[in-house]
Structure 1
Amino acid sequence: MRGAAMSLTAAASGLVVFLLSVSVVQGQGGWGVTYSSTKICAVKGSTVEIRCSYTFPSPWRGSVITVEKTFWFTKWKGGVRVDLTTDPEYAGRVEDLCENNICTLRIKNLTESDSAEYWFRFETNQGGKYSGSPGVTLSVSNLQVTSGTNRLFCQNSCPQSSNPSYIWYKNGQSIQGETSDYTSNPNNADSYSCALKGYEDFPSPPVYGPKLPSVSVSPSAEIEEGSSVTLTCSTDANPAANYTWYKKNGNQKLPPLTTEPKLFFSPIQSSDSGQYFCAAENELGKRTSEMISVDVKYAPKPPSVSVSPSAEIEEGSSVTLTCSSDANPAANYTWYKKNQNEHLSSVNEAPRLVLSSIQSSDSGQYYCTAENKLGVKTSKNISIDVKYAPKLPSVSVRPSAEIEEGSSVTLTCSSDANPAANYTWYKEDEDSPKASGQIFNITDFRAEHSGSYSCEAQNKLGRSNSNLHLSLVKGGSWKLPAAVTISVVLLAVISLSVFPWIRRKRASRDSSESEERADNREECVPDQPEQQEDLQYATVHFSNNRADPLDSNLRAALPFRHTEQQEVSEYAAVKFSSAAPRTRGQDSEEDPAALYSTVNKSR
């Protein structure tokens, strides 16, 4: 239509399109583009059609004009207008239809990003180019459901020239109500949406409360103390949910740890181990996740040690040492005694070391080790001090030589005891103690000091005693050791027994000699006086009281007891005959070498 402006119309197909202004005619000198409206509002997901008409003079400057190209654009690229049919953002959604100087732009499946200003342009064979400016502003609105107190609202951002009717949907099923609000008591299991009546194919996005949240931990491998760990909470909800993290703590009210979907630990500590959960909430409801366990692995902490019973430890009682350490995984325990590199025993590779019927030798310093695959720690030392009654005392005397009258004598008593023993000295047949203390001194030793002495060691747990015997040796006298005395006596007895046998042997040999030899012998023997019999007596003395000088006159005596020592003087009668001449064949009435002895040993 040369010289006349054609009208442009804009309409929406598939959904109500709100025209915000009347048609606009643009042009000069026969050139022009006519839009029916400069502003259009359409609903997301719908299809919109924007129409225009264009005019141009023909002939122009003596030439016939024909239109060679028409297109729609919204932007420039490198100073060149981009045809919408070639724009990747509109690929498959845009159609440009022109016939009889009327062009239509159809956009399907509108998105919010399609909101823009659209221009139409045509170009002729004579180099004429014309764009209708300003263009048409398209606004894409998204129907939304919002919530209030027990009420839902269907909101449309496009200005409304009338009061449209709405349709409400619950869990995809239509429910009554034609207004933009709906009274309800929503719960987490329900979803709600709305649509403009007549355009049910383009409902609003559904709204619903949070689904059951899922929780995850990263890294998913074993968690070691000192590493970084992230807990994540996620759920499906519209509108989007708000998140809160909690740590389980019995029945106490839990303070929130964070109001973010992620809970960070950097670095994580052993104290962070525990049960965690999250809550997801929006206007339509609230859901709580299942528990997730965070198990932080860590090396043993310094072990603590204890002893039971905690009271004073007495020998013979049962004592238990306990080692404990906070560790994950659980620690293995080993007990040691200080200054020993080996284990005490195989049963001690456990938290408890049991010393049943504890002995004094068990006193000392003990410690334990706690170990797992992440490390090892050693406890402080614990002291075991076993209390016990005095052991059998040992006694000694100084000087160690024989005790002579007037000398000074020192007696010493010692006993192993815990607590230390007190010492008391007693003398046989005397009720009162002679002295107290480990050392007992006797100055100017006299005969009355001889006798048996007792040392008693005592503490609060018991007592024990040992005895000794002191005897006086008079000045200038001496005693052979018992072993030497006995040896001499035995030698004498043996000699006295063998001597008669030798004499008889010789006598028997002499009787077999010839007379000539006998006569010659008689001639050779001078005259002797008349035979005399000499009788000799010897006294042999035995005593059980002989003491070895090495024993320093010290004799252990168990309970005091008087031993009556009976010294018996034994007499050995020894008869010697002189060697008088004998005639051949003369019988001797008795053997001249006969020896008689009787030895009685005192009991």
Structure 2
Amino acid sequence: MGATRGPFRDAPRDLGINVSISGANGRNFKIIQGNNVKLKAVEGGSVWALCSVDSSPPAQLSWGFGGRDLNTSQLGAGGSEGILQLLKLHPEHAGNYQCQATNDLGGIQGGFQLVVEYSPRPAAGPDPGLWCKHESGGLCCHCSLRAEPPAQLHWEVNGATVPGKDHQTKGNCTDSAMHWEGPGDSVVCIGSNYLGFYALQGSVHTLAAEGSSRLLGLGATIGAGAFLLLLLLIITALLLWGWRLTAPQRSKKPPDPREAQADDINLVYSNVPTRGPPNPAAPLDPHSQDETPYANIDFSRLPAPSTPCDTPATEYAQIRCMDPPPCRA
């Protein structure tokens, strides 16, 4: 009797990739077949990629980008299919995409390289796209723009085209320099490719000032710090000088309130100097019950008080104003 053969088993093979690309407006639709190919799409467009293999049992499919799994695997009836969808493309979508197909007998992978094309724009980074500085009796300007495909740069001064020099392209970034010795108020750097153009414009004086500050930034910082330090020392010296002038006055003992003169005529202080023995007082009326002694003070030279006697707010001794008792004849 012959042996019964089981189902055919095979590792994934014959991996194929079909890619559909459309423009930002849905036009320019195209389909590309192949593996490990370089594809170009426009910023704002879309990409659909279909990955398929022959295998038994069916393979598990997954897409990866930059070494990470995109989790876009989908299984189809009668076989294995993986679909990758990228919408509203931007420059960060550019790179290598890999389709991985595996089953328990083995695995295979393939992919494509995606290039996202876009119009010129300022280069990424803290530096401005256009700056100038005074050099060798003229003005030296530098411009940097990025684009895909790389931009072509040219210069204009006051509307007239000026040849540039030292054009360099690294990746998608293009640099250019221009030296100008004639009169001019406006400098323009224009970058262009088949998708559009971008212009950087500025006044000669502003750009030159910005360029000089970039070159002399460290020196300006040190100079500003030294100026602030000097200003701080001057202010400190003035404050110390003023403090020394006012220090003797503040060091004096404050006047004793008992030595101050009263503004209120109704207040008589106990520190009034003695002018000799008081005049003998007339004998009191034996019928008088008031035994309170009074000082013999002459108020004839003082004006009559306009207000009643107030309770003083000081700590001095006080003598109340009262009519003296009648003197005996």
TM-score range, shorter chain: 0.3 to 0.5
Higher relative contact order (CA 8 A, sep 6+): 2
Q: Normalization by structure 2: what TM-score?
A: 0.45
Query: Larger C-alpha radius of gyration, 1 or 2?
Result: 1
Structure 1 length-normalised TM? 0.26
Larger fraction in helix: 2
